[in-house]
Chain A
Amino acid sequence: MATPEEGRPGPVPAEDGVERYGPLIVRRVVKEDGRALIRFDRAGEREPE
């Protein structure tokens, strides 16, 4: 399964330290200027509940 990091958006596998919200994987980033950015990706089908 391709990940967004590989240049193709789509379902992504789970990682440690990320949040889950419903069907979404939630990653929080602080931009260089201090502003918050939240990235939402759909969880992969094989994602454990």
Chain B
Amino acid sequence: MSLLRFNELRGEQVAYAVDRQDRTFLPPADHCPLDPTRPGGRPTEIPFPAFEIVVFDNLFPSFESPAGAAEVVVYTDDHHGSFGGLAPERAQALMWVWRQRYEELGARGDVRYVLIFENRGVEVGTTLHHPHGQIYAFPFVPPVAALELAADARLGGCAPCVLLERELADGAPRVVHANADTVAYVPFAARWPYECHVVLREHRASLVECDAAELASLASALQAVTRGYDRLFEREFPYMMVLHQAPTDGGRAGHLHVEFYTPLRTATKLKYLAGCEQGAGTFIMDVLPEDSAGALREAIAVGSDA
């Protein structure tokens, strides 16, 4: 059972889910709970011998009904796959799955914000290597979403729209990839060494407002970025991939975009959130966004030419 406590000093909720202390932690490949259940084999979380995409209630939920939900999204039955390595058709199907879950969970009375994300790599806390993501349905609007709404007010309109326009101006030095419906860029004030935002060109509050072509473009852009990451240091690149969408508590603005938080600053060195980041809330960066954008743009382009 999870519970919330309000941290008065920071003005934010903290979720306690003590059962998660016992969750499955980096099991051997032949004991992966996200593999399909083969005939005569060990039962897993997924009672099918093969599947495309499956979503199920997290056994160790951070949020649960009647105060939210926590779900696991399994991208493939291939234990050794990755989001970037999915066939384009499967990646597009995943966009529809995310869309369906946002729509259905967001319609619940106890859900005010739907967070869809993937943690990839032990460096960012992955406990299962099988390609998968998660969905947290919050019973409140979390701080980052609230900050984005405040940015809308500060900029006098949709903040992601304003920032995209800025990024496309003056030669777009931080843009790393673009297609018909999306633009990917390292933000002007990136907080991670190779942070990247993938933004819909048109204002779309959520996946629900996207048509099939836009979902296909989004899938293609996200895969291009993740493949570029893997190419950057010629290693499996850890990241947190987080969808930002409108809160689902009714009537509030938002602009669908996907943010990647990337802790590697070199092939072997991590950016840590240490005293200044944690204690002051100010990120200290070792690389300028224009420089990391140049490297990432090149890594993505190499893959596009292959």
Q: Report A's interface with B, CB cutoff 8 A.
A: 4-5, 7-10, 21-24, 26, 29, 31, 35-42
Contact = CB atoms under 8 A, between A and B. Distances in A.
A7 B52 contact: no
Nearest to A10: B52
Given A21-B100, A23-B96, A24-B97, A40 B48 contact: no
Nearest to A35: B57
Given A4-B51, A7-B50, A26 B100 contact: yes
19 contacts: A8-B50, A21-B96, A21-B99, A22-B99, A23-B212, A31-B56, A35-B56, A35-B57, A36-B56, A37-B45, A37-B46, A37-B54, A37-B57, A38-B54, A39-B52, A40-B54, A40-B96, A40-B97, A42-B89
B51 A41 contact: yes
Contacts of B96: 21-24, 40
A40 B55 contact: yes
A37 B99 CA distance: 16
Contacts of B59: 35
Contacts of B52: 4, 9-10, 39-42
A8 B76 CA distance: 12
A5 B49 contact: yes
Interface of B: 45-57, 59, 76-77, 89, 92-93, 96-97, 99-100, 212
A38 B56 contact: yes
Contacts of A22: 96, 99-100, 212
Nearest to B49: A7
A40 B50 contact: no
A21 to B, nearest CB: 5
A26 B76 CA distance: 16
Contacts of A39: 48, 51-54
A32 to B, nearest CB: 8
Nearest to B72: A37
A42 B93 contact: yes
Given A40-B97, A42-B52, A31 B89 contact: no
Contacts of A8: 50
Contacts of B54: 37-40
A-B pairs, top 9 by smallest CB distance, nearest first, are: A35-B57, A37-B56, A40-B53, A4-B50, A9-B50, A22-B96, A38-B55, A21-B100, A41-B52
A37 B57 CA distance: 7
A35 to B, nearest CB: 4
A8 B49 CA distance: 8
A18 to B, nearest CB: 13
B47 A23 contact: no
Given A7-B49, A40-B52, A41-B51, 8 more contacts: A4-B48, A4-B52, A5-B50, A9-B52, A23-B212, A35-B56, A37-B46, A39-B52
Contacts of B51: 4, 9, 39, 41
